[in-house]
Amino acid sequence: MRVGVLGAAAGWHVRRLVAALTAAGHEAKVVGWHELAAEIGPEERLLPRFVTETDALVVRGMPAGTLEDVIFRMDILGRLARGRRVVNAPRALEAAIDKYLALTLLHDAGIPVPRTRVAQDAAGIVAAWEALGGDAVVKPLFGSRGRGIGRISSRADLEPWLDAARSAAPPGAVCYLQEFLPDGIWDARILVIGSRTFAMRRIATGDWRINVSSGARPEAWNAPANWADLAVRSARAVGAEIAGVDLFPTPSGPVVLEVNAVPGWRGLESALGIDIAAAVVRQLERPE
């Protein structure tokens, strides 16, 4: 196969994927998002030429940019997906990156999720916070690795979001709040690759945010069948072929916190001692 890897050439995951593809006898080339271009009229040409000659494209992140930058990149990825396999597909990327949209898809699929309220004006934000018991986690709609997440356990904590909603012109600023789930000693990350799952627990080390990037300790974990099933169903709900699913234990069973369609696996690989990039390549080798 000829495979393009969309991402930064120096990135750890990109380098591991290229090495695994090459070791399996495939041709692999890294393409930066900034290299993508298009020409229309009298015929359509997508550039660089290599991306139009690939059998598959693997998406490994997207750099920050303006709304126009992001929309164009997703548009051109959609055009590229017409003639080749894209992992993950543009629609899955769009769904998973938007926490609210992803949560609605999980809910529609009957997957348990935390109680969540989303509001835009100051009165609605206060009502949402109070409905969640006056103790909630605020998250950016777009984000990963715990960035931008905060806990709001007092009215003083809430004031910055109320100020943002009041001062915006026109008024209103989205505030995404989830119930705070107490006793967070650990959570689980289950990586879904096709129908296969690879699981680890992340053990908190003092920070209530349980992320490896925040210092949580990863450890290998034999996920119960119902946890693995929830992870696979969650990936399918957003349309992702490869996904990292975060789950949290509660007295009534696990709930799904998030689905990441461009999942990292560095901590998982160190915990399990296996080559995850090679598993990704094997998935690419299977027919769609």
> What CATH number is given to the structural domain containing 162?
3.30.1490.20
Residues 209 and 262 occupy one common structural domain:
yes
Structural domain range at position 46: 2-87
Residues 121 and 78 occupy one common structural domain:
no
Residues 196 and 219 occupy one common structural domain:
yes
- Torsion angle of C-alpha atoms 148, 149, 151, 154, degrees rounded to 10: 30
Question: pLDDT tens digits for the chain (288 residues)?
Answer: 999 999 999 999 999 999 999 999 999 999 999 999 999 988 999 999 999 999 999 999 888 888 899 999 999 999 999 989 999 999 999 999 999 999 999 999 999 999 999 999 999 999 999 999 999 999 988 865 556 788 899 999 999 999 999 998 888 889 999 999 876 688 899 999 999 999 999 887 766 666 666 666 788 999 999 999 999 999 999 999 999 999 999 989 999 999 999 999 998 998 999 999 999 999 999 987
Residues 7 and 70 occupy one common structural domain:
yes
Give this prediction's pTM: 0.90
Residues 212 and 100 occupy one common structural domain:
yes
Residue type, 178: Q
- pLDDT (0 to 100) of residue 208: 62
Residues 137 and 173 occupy one common structural domain:
yes
Residues 262 and 232 occupy one common structural domain:
yes
Query: What distance in Å separates the CA atoms of residue 132 and residue 180, rounded to the nearest whole number?
Result: 8
Residues 104 and 243 occupy one common structural domain:
yes
- pLDDT (0 to 100) of residue 168: 86
Token code pair at residue 128: 């949402």
End residue of a domain, out of 161, 179, 197? 179
Residues 80 and 123 occupy one common structural domain:
no
Q: What is the tally of structural domains in the chain?
A: 3
**Nearest partner of 93 among 108, 106, 77, judged by Cα:** 77
Residues 142 and 41 occupy one common structural domain:
no
